[in-house]
Each structure stands twice: as C-alpha cells, then as structure tokens.
Chain A
Amino acid sequence: MERRRGHFIVIFDDMIKYLFTFLILLVIGLEGENYFYLAIAFFGPILSLLKYFNTYYSIKKDMFVIESGIFTKTKTEIPLSLITTVDLTQNLLYQVFHIQKVKIDNSSKSKENVNKAELTIALKNDEALKIKELLLSKAKTGQPAIEKESVKPEIKTKFSDFLLLGLLQSKLAYIAAAAPVTMALIGLFMPENEIDSSGIKATDAFMSLFQGIPFVAAIVIIILSIITVSFILSLLFSLITYYNFKLSSSKEAIHIEYGLLNKKSYTLMKSSINGVSLKQPLLMRLLGYCTIEVYIFGYGNDEEDKKEISMLYPIARLSETEALLKNLLPELKPAKQIKKPEKKAFRYFFYNFKTVFGCVLLTGACFSRQPVFIGIAFAVLGLIIISCIMQYFNTGLNINQLTITAVSGSFTKKTTLIRTKAIESIYEKSGLFKRKKGISNIGFQYIGPKMFSTIVVKNATIQQYEDAKAALTY
C-alpha cells in the first residue's frame, strides 16, 4: 500500500483540546492588540496543521508503518502479527463528517523500556473498516479474524441494564450523602453560642427555605434530593457512554460497539486475552450484578491513559456470567469453589497502614477535644474497620492447571481469572510471626496491561502457595 495521510479532520480534533486556551489568548491578544498573545494563540493550530501534513501511514510486507514528526522524523513499524487490538472511535465531530479514529495497540506497551507503540490515525468510515479488517486478518493467528458466517449472535444491552448500571455505579451518592450527614452532626454538636457568633446569616438564609418543615425532615429532604440528582446524573452518564452496547464473537475475536456522543468499536483477539476481571462495587454486589473487563497484553487501563478500559460487558448478572464466559472465553471459567482465608488470618487484615492512620487520626482528634473532629475521626476509623472486615470475607484463591482465580477487595469486590499459562512468576511474602502460623501474601505476576501485571491475595495459606508453584507452567 502506498503511503498516505489520514483525514484532515484530525487537525480540528487537536485544536478542540486546546480551544479554551486558544479563545482566552485570542481575546487577550485582540483586546490589547498584543501580537505576542495572538502569535501564541495561533501556534497550536499551526502546529496541528504541520503535524497533519507530516504524518503518513502505509502497510508494507506485514508491517504497519506510521511516519510522523515535524522537526524530528519518526518512523514506527509494527509487525501485523503483533497487533493485539484495533479500536475505532467517533466523537461528535467525527460522526458529523463520517470519520473514524483508528487506534492500533500492540504488546510492546507492557514492557517498561520500550516506547509506547500505540498508533492513531483518522480515516473515512469505509477506509477505517477496511484497514481494521486487513490488520486483524494478519494479527496473531494469520487466520481471517472476522468471518461473518461464523460470528455468533450479538448480545445487546437493554434500557433496564443502563438504569441498573446508573443506579449501581453511582459513587456520587456516597459522597453526596456524607455532606449533609456531616452538616447535621455539626449542627447537633456545635454549641448555640458558636452558631450565633459566626455564620448566622448564612445559616438563616439556608434554613428559610425549609420554613415550617421540621429540622429532621428538612435534612432527609436534602439527602434524598442529592441522592436523586446523583442517580439521575449517573444514569444519564451510563446511557450516553454505553448507548446501544453490542457484543458479538467469532472463533478468533470478540467485537464490541457502544457509545452515543463518543462511539467506540473495538476488536479483542481471544488469543491475547490473558485474564478476566469481575468487578462488583457494593451496591452491585448486593443485587448480584457485576462488570466484566478483560486483561489484554499491552492494552487498556494503562497508567497514562486511564480512559482506555478493556470492557467486555458493562453490567451482567453474576449468575449468568459463567454462561457468558463459557460462550466467549471457554478457557476462563470462574472456579466453583474458592478457598477463603483461615479464621486465624482474620486479625492480619487489620495490620495495615490505613488502620494505623485511622487510629492516629482518632488520637489526634481526641487531643483536639473538638466534638466535630472526634465524630469525623470515629466515622473514618469505622469505615476502615468495615473495609478490613469486608476484605477478609471477600478474599479467596483457587488454583488449577488452567486458571487461577483470585478474589480481593473490600467495598469493591474483584474476582480475577488468569490463565495459568500467562503467569510469569509468583511470590509469597510474610513476616516471621505470620509465617509461623502458615499464613502469607501471595502475588502473581502475569502478562497483561502494565497497571495490572500483579495481583496479590492477602493472608492466604503457605499450602496455597505450594499449590500455585505446582500449577505454574515450567
């Protein structure tokens, strides 16, 4: 293929990122007739233009090549067989002009000393789809990845799924509810003369909204209002993000599409998927739902690109997860029996920095003799204790020849399934006294996105470590 440029729309895509700065500088420059600010304002757009005219892509002899750079010319070549994923994304601007942003990932992203090999170009819809098919047909297996006849039926999410996702994922509810509760505690503990001496006008103005309504009822109304607003916002966010979520699979790959304002379409090669994670925030856990994510060598949840989540399914019933995974990734089956930590390991879940922090905070608050601070410190320590107890009940490990299942987390429970073949190394770490009781922390290092290359199961038994050693592929 001859080298060619991507679509010119990418110039405006870059400019939109700095639009606010551009407008500020333009206004300052025009108002004061200051040519320096005007020059800086237009520096960004000119740079975007130059970057566009100096960027080419081509496909040569099983290599995908991107040439770029204004002053320093760079040529990046990725062997097609090492491409792990090809993402297609469309924001609003791209949708208007029928353009797709094509992002190509390969496995070198997971190695510390190698430059990020994540290439992005903007192409017309049909061109983008052709490139994606061409790249994926040579990726990993050399077999055509998208055979329309062998594509399994789509799994679509329903509106009720979005409703649930919005309700169950709403973190704002916790934070928003904490504020009025704290205010109420302040009101109860603070002596009247302190209220009279400062802030009385603000308090009066606020309380005038609730004239005639009892104090407790007013607080309840405020809490419910904030929770309702946060749920509505969370629901809208879920709808917009995961609108029209569709999942289909072929023998070699899984295809996912979703999004309203920012459409995403990506293909995950099954052979590159080394693990699966079932995430359950507290509310989701209570209702028996989870979010399914995958771990792919070099893709997703990188420290520098936190927006990139390798989502497999946004919300699924835990009871249906086994069937879903059996359908898509039969090698990664959730284990039926998970071995929990022993009772003697219970106290070790409290031996951590956050418990020490909570105790120090409470001690400091007691010294201050301020009821508000003491109340807050008690609440913080209470939450820490609850999280330690939940961590004990959530922790577990199962090891077999095919998969390692590790369960961890406190308020958000995380069940991680990793192919035993993908485990690079294992370690166990414990203090002298803990070791004597046969308890240790076990860590598994595996091939995955850099951020999640290690999973740790706390306070497991030494015997489980020996079992993991035996199951490891040598």
Chain B
Amino acid sequence: MEYQKLDKRIIKSWKIARIITLCIFLILFSVILFISALTNTLKTVWFIVLPIMGLILLYRLVAIVVYPFIEYKQWRYLITEDKIEIRFGIFFITTTIIPIIRIQHITINAGPINRKLGLAEVEIHTASGSSVIKGLTKEQAEQISENLKEKLINRLEAEV
C-alpha cells in the first residue's frame, strides 16, 4: 500500500497560521519597544535584546516562507487493515505507528482557517495519548473516520 499525501491547501493553512503568530510577535515587540522608549528603561540591554528579537523574527519568516514546503514534502500517512502509520516533521522526522485495535475514539477537528479552506484533521485517541492526521478535506476526514471505526469493529469482533 502506498503512503497518502496531504491536501496541498495545507501549505496555505500553515502559512496563514504562522503569519498570524508573526503579527502577534511583532505587536508584542512593538509594545515592549514603545514602553521602553517612554519609560527610558532597558536601554542598557538593548544590544542583547535587539539581536535576539531579530533572530526570532528571522526564524518566524523562514517558518512562513520555507518550512511549509519541507513539511508538506515529509508529511504522509498510511492506513492498513491493522495499523495507522503517520510520518511528519521538518528537520526531525517522526514516524508513529498505532494499531487499530488500540483506538479508543476518533475526533474530526477544523479550526477557523482550515474551515475557510475546506480542510479538517482527524485525531486518533488511544488510552495513552493521541495522534493527528492533518490536511484532509472534510469528505476525506469523514471517510477515514468511518473507515477506521469499521476496521476497529471488525478487529474487536475477530478478537471475540
């Protein structure tokens, strides 16, 4: 069986989410700068603070421009009769295997950005934690959820 890739719109979703995070960071930075200028504080440590802020800004820009493409390329998932395999990461690749028999319940999530783009994610819960398959269309998410529930019932019946 072949690994499945995510929907390409997830790249846009990641970019939008990270731009929002960058805007929040810039607002916070501006507020600190403004208060520091008004109260005449932190002047002695600006030579440390400014480079650190600059590095964070640069990192956030790279996360918007470069990372989504790398992340999209690495992200894949595979659902077989007995297990789910999820592979993701940018510099550190994580491969997770979940036996279907271990699934406790499945949830379908869609934040405001994903909803606008017609995307959703499937969260698979086991007794010890959860794993997420991102970047699916709504129809795909529902299909996977139903598919997993059916497989789980079949596995449980086979156990009995």
Contact = CB atoms under 8 A, between A and B. Distances in A.
Given A427-B96, A445-B128, A473 B101 contact: yes
Given A429-B89, A432-B93, A474-B82, 14 more contacts: A424-B126, A424-B128, A424-B129, A425-B97, A425-B99, A425-B128, A427-B96, A429-B93, A429-B95, A435-B93, A445-B126, A447-B128, A453-B128, A472-B99
Interface in B59-86: 82-83
Residue of A429, A430, A446, A474 with most partner-chain B CB within 10 A: A474
A430 B99 contact: no
A431 to B, nearest CB: 5
A427 B95 contact: yes
B22 interface: no
Contacts of B101: 473-474
A425 B102 contact: yes
A72 B93 CA distance: 48
Interface of A: 110-111, 297, 424-432, 435, 445-448, 453-454, 465, 469, 472-474
B105 to A, nearest CB: 10
Nearest to A473: B99
Given A429-B89, A431-B91, A432-B91, A469 B128 contact: no
B98 interface: yes
B93 A474 contact: no
Contacts of A428: 94-95
A426 to B, nearest CB: 5
Given A424-B128, A453-B128, A430 B96 contact: no
26 contacts: A110-B128, A424-B102, A424-B129, A425-B97, A425-B99, A425-B102, A425-B126, A426-B96, A427-B96, A429-B92, A429-B94, A429-B95, A430-B92, A431-B93, A445-B126, A448-B128, A453-B128, A454-B129, A465-B95, A469-B97, A472-B83, A472-B97, A474-B82, A474-B100, A474-B101, A474-B155
B16 to A, nearest CB: 27
Instruction: Pick the most buried of B94, B101, B127, B155: most chain A CB atoms within 10 A of its CB.
Output: B127
A233 B98 CA distance: 48
Q: Which 4 A-B pairs have the closest CB atoms?
A: A474-B82, A427-B96, A453-B128, A424-B126
B131 interface: yes
Contacts of A431: 91-93
Contacts of B97: 425-427, 469, 472
B128 A446 contact: yes
Contacts of A445: 126, 128-129
A314 B95 CA distance: 37
Nearest to A432: B91
A474 B83 contact: yes
A430 B95 CA distance: 9
A430 B93 contact: yes
A368 B151 CA distance: 64
Contacts of A429: 89, 92-95
Nearest to A447: B127
B129 A425 contact: yes
Nearest to B126: A424
B127 A424 contact: yes
B102 to A, nearest CB: 5
Contacts of A425: 96-99, 102, 126, 128-129, 131
Nearest to B124: A425
Contacts of A426: 96-97
A430 to B, nearest CB: 7
Nearest to B74: A432
Contacts of B99: 424-425, 472-474
